[in-house]
Structure 1
Amino acid sequence: MLILTLTAAISILHPLHCESKESSSCKGPTPWQMAFLLSGFGLLLVGASGIRPCNLAFGADQFNPKTKSGKRAISSFFNWYYFTFTFAVMVSLTVIVYVQSNVNWALGLAIPTFLMFLSCAVFFIGTRIYVMVIPQSSPLTSAVQVIVAAIKKRMLRIGGTPGNLNKQ
């Protein structure tokens, strides 16, 4: 997110504005500017794909599913998680887009960047009190097992008999 914010805020990191839409003097981004922008998108993609699937599992690990209160707390956690996630999406699709459209792109990108840094700080401050569940096996082993099972079962028909999928 920081790289995208820098792209909007620092003039050397983005192409100059065109005088008019009909002007032929408009120049696109340089290869260096495009590489900087795409690296920002790439890092954003890696960060989001690393955080989003882990949020729910990490949050659920904080409660003991073997107790009645733990089961209730897990259910409550999921309700609050989806409520706050939906609220955050609504805010980002209204306030942030409004700021980007009517005030300034750099400020519109700086707001979520600041909030991400704030959330990271809160997360790391609370690290000592989190329940850390030690994995029982390698996550790579599980991923490979899924891939192998998918390859083995790629020709299965509905009903469980292997064969050509084109035959009905």
Structure 2
Amino acid sequence: LNGLNGTTSLAPIVGAFLSDAYLGRYLALAIASVASLIGMFFLTLTAGADSLHPADCGVGEVCQKASSYQLAVLFISFAFLVIGSAGIRPCSMPFGADQFDPHTESGRRGINSFFNWYYFTFTSAMLVSATVIIYVQSNVNWAIGLGIPTALMLLACVLFFMGTRLYVRVIPEGSPFTTIVQVFAAAFAKRSLKQPKDPKQD
């Protein structure tokens, strides 16, 4: 889990670069949303399908280890979730802000309202996931506890793609990471050059 948390925290850096330089925010979000849905679906299957997780063991019994096939399905679900995190985390908020014109009064009000609702829904979702979802997973059933967010992700994907024709899509203009890398590359290439005594000397 530590590896998964670390990877999902670093993946948005790669996602932000690809979005700014090549894909654009809409395409990055579209790919990430589908990837997240696939990852959550497979993760739910690992809890719901008996063939995808080790058999339950009682107190004092030796628990069976997960088979290679079961681990493969689990890691595949993690991989899709990382891809989803790479696109959703860095692009969801900027893409929402792209839908408003900051040069107009109504656009500025729309951006402010969007950010307020974004943080409100984000905080509410975190609260529900930390209470209701965990309670269902711990006291009812893991498959149901994972199935609820999977169903909500499916609904989110449907709503997202329904608005495809209405979205404002900003053309990718390059990533600031590219400039940073170019600066470091130039500094490394010129590391052996001596500084002239006269600053005006070429």
TM-score (norm 1): 0.82
Query: Where does residue 148 of structure 1 map in the other structure?
Result: 182
Q: For 2:185 and 2:118, locate their aligned partners in 1 and report how far apart those are by CA, in whole Å.
A: 35
AA in 1 matched with 2:144: L
Q: Secondary structure at the match of 2:42?
A: helix
- Which runs of 5 or more residues in structure 2 are unaligned? 1-39, 189-202
Query: Where does residue 89 of structure 1 map in the other structure?
Result: 126
Q: Does 1:23 align with 2:81?
A: no
Query: Where does residue 3 of structure 1 map in the other structure?
Result: 42
Query: Where does residue 166 of structure 1 map in the other structure?
Result: none
Query: Where does residue 104 of structure 2 map in the other structure?
Result: 67
AA in 1 matched with 2:178: V
| CA apart distance, 1:144 | 2.5
Query: Where does residue 113 of structure 2 map in the other structure?
Result: 76
| CA apart distance, 1:151 | 6.3
Q: For 1:37 and 1:99, locate their aligned partners in 2 and report how far apart those are by CA, in whole Å.
A: 21
TM-score (norm 2): 0.69
- CA displacement, residues 36-80 of structure 1 (integer Å, 9 cap, x when unaligned): 111111111111221121101110000001112211211111111
Higher helix share: 2
Q: Which runs of 4+ in 1 moved over 6 A?
A: 151-154
Q: For 1:129 and 1:7, locate their aligned partners in 2 and report how far apart those are by CA, in whole Å.
A: 37
AA in 2 matched with 1:23: E
Change (3 A) 1:98 1:56: same
Identity percentage over the alignment?
Answer: 53
- Which runs of 5 or more residues in structure 1 are unaligned? 155-168
Paired residues in the alignment total: 149
AA in 2 matched with 1:133: V
